[in-house]
């Protein structure tokens, strides 16, 4: 089924606008990361203790902070989690779970008489484990990109691999920058979302490159820009349908999936939009620019 009929859009003529938009988004994200001293990492990477508590009525953040200060637990971060009567407490230092539960329950009952705090979740991650997870997460992303570089170089040509890698790095950097601007934490679930975005964006790019390879054989006398434009237009219907259906699913997860999965779904929404955009306005233009620059230097 073709959702979009025959089109003849000169996408490569608009590549300068695409580079400007991408550059602006990347620059905004990098400035945000520099101002914040890097991405905001969850306890998965930094270590510490996470406590989720449900109250009968709307939680009073001020009283909860007073209870934590009375226990001398160090720096803490308190925020609501889904509903006003449910909160999430992040402590920088790892604590003994059972002792912390008892002490915190007594402190909360003291400052909030009549309340019965229900401890829904408590997780503790040591700093050593957090550092190991950070290293493994970074290694996973780098390994995926290197593997993709080798795979596309073998299946297509090296210049196609350069375009695909440029698009993947573009997608991850922009998504990371948006998370920094929104002040969202980077957790293991978000790293999983980044890897999913890499796979999704690559799949979209490969579809376009497959059509380019077919047209390069069939239209040998045409200019490269013409071939790439025709290939993008021919695969446009498939790209729009795939992206739209994926976006509807992750948007539904973001809207109704609850707090636990909301940030993962948000990362996927950004990734679907940026990944679709990059397969058209980043991957293909980079291949054309790379080919024209280095092919021109070779003797005929």
Q: Name the DSSP class of 13.
A: G
Residue 15 to residue 204: CA distance in whole angstroms: 18
At 218, the pLDDT band (50, 70, 90 cuts) reads confident
- Residue-wise pLDDT for 24-45, tens only, equals 999 999 999 999 888 888 777 7
Residue 297 has pLDDT above 70, yes or no: no
Residue 196: both structure tokens together: 């999913």
Q: Name the DSSP class of 12.
A: G
Name residue 52's beta-bridge partners. 88, 121
- Residue-wise pLDDT for 156-200, tens only, equals 888 888 888 899 889 989 999 999 999 888 888 888 888 888 888
**264: burial class by Cβ within 10 Å (0-12, 13-18, 19+)?**
buried
Residue 162 to residue 284: CA distance in whole angstroms: 10
Distances, alpha carbon 231 to alpha carbons 158, 166, 228, in Å: 19, 19, 5
Question: What's the whole-model pTM score?
Answer: 0.77
Residue 8 has pLDDT above 80, yes or no: no
User: Residue 126: what pLDDT?
Assistant: 67
Residue 71 has pLDDT above 70, yes or no: yes
Residue 168 to residue 195: CA distance in whole angstroms: 10
User: Residue 266: what pLDDT?
Assistant: 93
Q: Name the DSSP class of 182.
A: T
Q: Name the DSSP class of 92.
A: S
- Residue-wise pLDDT for 251-280, tens only, equals 998 988 777 788 899 999 999 999 999 988
Residue 66: both structure tokens together: 């007073």
User: Residue 137: what pLDDT?
Assistant: 76
Q: By three-state DSSP, how is residue 73 classified?
A: coil
- Residue-wise pLDDT for 101-160, tens only, equals 788 888 888 888 877 888 888 777 766 666 777 777 778 878 877 888 888 888 888 888
Q: Which residue has the tokens 């729009």?
A: 240
Q: Name the DSSP class of 121.
A: E
Contact (CB, 8 A) for 91 and 51:
yes
């Amino acid at each position: 089924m073709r959702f979009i009929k025959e089109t003849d859009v000169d996408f490569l003529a608009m590549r300068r606008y695409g580079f400007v938009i991408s550059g602006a988004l990347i620059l905004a994200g990098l400035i945000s990361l520099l101002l914040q001293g890097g991405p905001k990492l969850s306890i998965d990477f930094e270590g510490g203790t996470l406590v989720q508590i449900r109250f009968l009525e709307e939680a009073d953040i001020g009283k909860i902070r007073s209870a934590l200060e009375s226990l001398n637990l160090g720096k803490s971060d308190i925020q609501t989690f889904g509903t006003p009567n449910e909160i999430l407490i992040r402590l920088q230092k790892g604590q003994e779970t059972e002792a912390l539960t008892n002490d915190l329950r007594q402190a909360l009952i003291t400052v909030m008489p009549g309340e019965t705090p229900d401890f829904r979740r408590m997780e503790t991650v040591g700093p050593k484990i957090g550092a190991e997870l950070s290293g493994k997460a970074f290694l996973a992303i780098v390994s995926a990109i290197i593997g993709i570089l080798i795979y596309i170089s073998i299946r297509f040509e090296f210049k196609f691999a350069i375009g695909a890698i440029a698009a993947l790095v573009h997608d991850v950097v922009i998504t990371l920058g948006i998370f920094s601007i929104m002040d969202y934490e980077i957790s293991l679930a978000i790293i999983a979302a980044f890897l999913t975005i890499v796979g999704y964006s690559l799949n979209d790019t490969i579809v376009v490159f497959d059509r380019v390879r077919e047209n390069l054989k069939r239209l040998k006398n045409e200019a490269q820009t013409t071939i790439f434009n025709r290939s993008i237009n021919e695969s446009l219907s498939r790209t729009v349908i795939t992206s739209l259906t994926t976006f509807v699913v992750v948007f539904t997860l973001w809207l109704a999936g609850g707090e636990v999965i909301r940030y993962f779904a948000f990362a996927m929404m950004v990734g679907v939009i940026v990944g679709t955009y990059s397969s058209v306005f980043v991957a293909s233009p980079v291949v054309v620019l790379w080919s024209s620059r280095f092919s021109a230097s070779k003797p005929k």
